[in-house]
Structures are given as structure tokens and as C-alpha cells.
Amino acid sequence: MKLPAQAVWGEIGTARLLAQSPIAPVKLLERADIGCVLVASAVEASAVTGPLGASAGCAFPLMADAGVSTDFPRALWLNPRTWILQCDVEQEGSLVARLNESFADRRVHATRFSDALCWFEWTGPTTFDLLRRGGFISLDREEFPVGRCKRTLIAAVAVFIVRDREECMLLGVERSRARYFVEWVIRACDLTRVTPSA
């Protein structure tokens, strides 16, 4: 039985503007159009990343700070044998089926993961400075180029940070902490919450 994924604020399949700055080009969107697949290996990752990449159509990194593609699908390193595969929401089911069929011996298992994380797009020229306010890991521009992914604590919440574009971060937040995290972003950035139109 396939249950539809749920967004926190918007509808699945759409990106919804949650907050913006009235004086600067800083915006926060809920990206409910991003699907996720959790991929776990029961063997050494180096033994399966080649076949995984061929099945998914993207490279699977072998370390935390490896660069990732700026296109979907793309694999984000979670731990030495586990990745989160970002994709379009519509691709999630077919990716899960294809990966599991490719590893009928169960060395690798893939499962839907969209309901576990909420993805937010945070854009603006001050994004780096604002992220530093809530975290303790260096987010220096030279150390964190476009296509790089980090997993860290921001405002005491575990967050995946993907530098998607020059002034754009994608933030993956555990669903149960998503509302708290959005409220922190709004306060930290002095943003104005966007009231949905009727």
C-alpha cells in the first residue's frame, strides 16, 4: 500500500514560500517537490557504489564532504554505508523499485524516505552568515562550494545542508523539528511570515 507523502505547510509536489525579508532578498521556501530514498548497504560501500550509481543514474559518495551533483537524482552521504537519494517526488517509487531489483541479493536496500525529512530552500546573500549564527561547523565559502553537502546542528537541530546554488541552501530537517526550525529561521533572519492567499 502506497501512502502519499505529506508536506508540513504546502502540498506535495509544490514549493511554497514560507517567509521573506521585506528589505533584503532573503526567502525561505518549503520544497515539497523533493522526494527522498534511503539507501543502506550491508557490505562495504566501495563494493556497491558502482552498481548503485548505474542503477540510480548518479554517483554515490564514499565520504561526508564529497561533492554532489547539482541535478536530481543525487546521493547525499549519511554514514559510511548509508545515503539519502534526493529525487523528484514522482521518481521516488521507481527509484526504490529499480535499486531493490538491482540488488536482489539484499546487499543494498532502498526505501521511501520523503516523510522523514522536510526540505527547505533558503536563499539570499546573507545565508552563510545566518547559518553560522545557529551552528558551530565552519561554513566558509571556500570550504563549502556549490554541490557540497554537510550534516550538522543548526539551532540545536540536526540538518542536512546542501549548497544548491551560489546563494541558495537546501536544508533537510527531521519532520518533527521542522516547525521549530522554521520559527528559528524567521527570528534569526528577521523575516516576515507569508500569509497564504485564499
DSSP 113-144: -TTTEEEEEEESTTHHHHHHHH--S---TTTS
Q: What's 1's DSSP letter?
A: -
Q: Which domains does the chain have, with CATH numbers?
A: 15-192 (3.30.1360.120)
State the Cα–Cα distance between residues 95 and 194, nearest whole angstrom. Answer: 34
Rg, the chain, Cα only: 17
The cell for 123 is: 536563499
CA angle 186, 28, 64 (to 5 degrees): 100
Task: Choose the weakest-confidence range: 98-107, 141-150, 156-165.
Answer: 141-150
Note the pLDDT tens digit of each residue in 30-84: 988 888 999 999 999 999 999 999 999 999 988 876 666 778 898 988 888 999 8
pTM, to two decimals:
0.81
State the Cα–Cα distance between residues 64 and 151, nearest whole angstrom. Answer: 8
